[in-house]
Amino acid sequence: MPLTDDEVRDLQAKARELRCLMIDVTTWAGGAHIGGALSSADLLTALYYKYLNVRPDEPDWAQRDRFVLSKGHAGVGLASVLADRGYFPGGLLHEFNHFKSPFGMHLDGGKVPGVDASTGSLGHGLSQALGMAWGARYQKESWLTYCLLGDGECNEGSVWEAAMAASHHGATNLITLVDRNGLMIDGPTEEVMSLEPLADKWRAFGFQVVEIDGHDFVQIAAAIEGARARAGRPLAGRSGAGRPGAAAGPSAASGAASADTAGRPTVIIANTVKGKGVDFMEGNVKWHYGSLDSELAEKAKASITGRRT
């Protein structure tokens, strides 16, 4: 069911608000992986404000959908989202990275409510997410597991070990997203270690691949809803008409799986821009990790909100 115009506007506004918070947290922290947090901000917004079935006041609720941030360095992004969703008081984020803070750059699930897996070392998340998905199916539970990978992370062999196993086991209740922002620490992915043809690689590993613009909420929604339909978990009936005139988005994202692709897990390759929303960070490899003083932070937030400085 496509998003309504109002839903799209609300999600866009929420994403701007969250991006500003990510800038603030980076400033308070003295530095964070802001580039890859901003590139995944719209994906996180769609998941946490539309699709994940979670209870922020009951973070360990057994029936919740799981989310594994395999690109754990984007912790500054996830922590901002979790604070805004009410998992913990937002004021705690002032301690980010500080001595004995619960928040390190790579979030610790034992310390931060709402973090389903402690990640940071790349290539670990998809296996854990697959284990969760297997556990759900074994226990006949209907909750879903989402896993967000970085594109550079797909250099790790362990990602492909997990991918092979996910398709072997037909883990359709695992929904994988790749934040394809095209940059890694040392430069463009295609210069450091080429990933292309990335979609073909996932396809060859037995996945149903959906490629989208990772900053377009209509496409994000269509892709996630398609994946949920393949998982046998279409979004429960929702009031309000579908968005008139909205394209269904990527073809594979619409409706249930066809017979020849049934049982394939879904990967959503979200083409994104590193540093998205901040003009001086966008596409700039130097902003993989960075720090801001208050003046630069104001410029960044002005760029996000379209406000003049």
Partner 1 sequence: MPEVTGTTWNVYDANTLTQAEIYGRVLTELGEKDARIVALTADLARSTKIGVFGERFPERLVNVGIAEQNLFGMAAGMAKAGLVPFVSTMSVFASMRALEQVRTDICYQGLDVKIIATHGGISFGQAGTTHHCTEDIAIMRALAGMTVIVPADGFETANAVRACVERPGPAYIRLGRGFEPLHYDSEDYGFRIGQAVEIAPGGDFTIVCCGVAVYHAAQAATILAETDGVSVRVLNMHTLKPLDDAAVLSAARETGHILTVEEHTVIGGLGSAVADVLAQSGVACTFAKVGLPDCYSEVGYPEDLYCHYGIDIDGIVDRIRVMLGIVAELDEDWEDEV
**Residues at the site binding partner 1, with contacts judged by CB under 8 A:** 62, 66, 68, 109-110, 116-118, 120-121, 123-124, 126-136, 138-139, 157-158, 161-162, 164-165, 168-169
CB distance 225 to 235 below 8 Å = yes
Q: Which residues contact 306 (CB under 8 A, 6 or more apart)?
A: none
Residues 21 and 92: their CA atoms lie apart, in Å, by: 13
DSSP-assigned letters across all residues of 11-41? HHHHHHHHHHHHHHHHHHHT-B-HHHHHHTH
CB of 204 to partner 1, least distance (A): 16
CB of 86 to partner 1, least distance (A): 22
Residues 275 and 127: their CA atoms lie apart, in Å, by: 27
CB of 103 to partner 1, least distance (A): 16
- How big is the CA angle at 69 (ends 86 and 202), to the nearest 5 degrees? 140
Question: Residue 270 half-sphere exposure, CB side, CA atoms within 13 Å?
Answer: 32
CB of 57 to partner 1, least distance (A): 20
Q: Which residues contact 56 (CB under 8 A, 6 or more apart)?
A: 82, 85, 86, 87, 113, 114
CB of 224 to partner 1, least distance (A): 21
Of residues 153 and 211, the one with the C-beta less far from partner 1: 153
CB of 127 to partner 1, least distance (A): 3
Of residues 117 and 231, the one with the C-beta less far from partner 1: 117
Of residues 132 and 210, the one with the C-beta less far from partner 1: 132
CB of 156 to partner 1, least distance (A): 9
- Encoding tokens for residue 139? 């226990």
Residues 23 and 31: their CA atoms lie apart, in Å, by: 10
Of residues 101 and 305, the one with the C-beta less far from partner 1: 101
Of residues 59 and 290, the one with the C-beta less far from partner 1: 59
Q: One-letter amino acid identity for 309?
A: T
Of residues 169 and 203, the one with the C-beta less far from partner 1: 169
Of residues 175 and 253, the one with the C-beta less far from partner 1: 175
Residues 18 and 307: their CA atoms lie apart, in Å, by: 16
CB of 131 to partner 1, least distance (A): 2
Strands 145-150 and 174-180, how do they pair? parallel
Residues 168 and 61: their CA atoms lie apart, in Å, by: 29
Helix (H/G/I), strand (E/B), else coil: 264? coil
Of residues 94 and 168, the one with the C-beta less far from partner 1: 168
